[in-house]
Amino acid sequence: MSNSDLLPSLLAKINENQLALEAAIMELTLWVEQRGSADVAENVRESLSAIDRNEEFIKMTLAVLLTPD
């Protein structure tokens, strides 16, 4: 398997890790918010919004890269 064949799989795994981290951080955010730190929770949500903004582009790009020629 060549390096160029590995790249799409690598990017897919990185994307999976990113989404898993987002979910874990959101769980912690909810926990923090329930304990009265709404401002901290909002700051975290704003930071995580970058993941949401980029998710569709990442999915489309991975679909193109993973489609056989």
- pLDDT number for residue 5: 75
Helix (H, G, I), strand (E, B) or coil at 48: helix
The domains of the chain are located at 3-66
Dump pLDDT digits (tens) for 7-59: 888 888 999 999 999 999 999 999 999 999 999 999 999 999 999 899 899 88
Report residue 63's pLDDT band, with 50, 70 and 90 as the boundaries.
confident
H-helix or E-strand spanning residue 67: none
Backbone angles phi, psi at 5, to 5 degrees: -75, -30
Instruction: Report the C-alpha gap between 24 and 20 in whole angstroms.
Output: 6
Around 35, how many Cα atoms within 13 Å sit in the side-chain half-sphere? 7
- pLDDT number for residue 67: 81
- pLDDT number for residue 69: 67
- pLDDT number for residue 46: 94
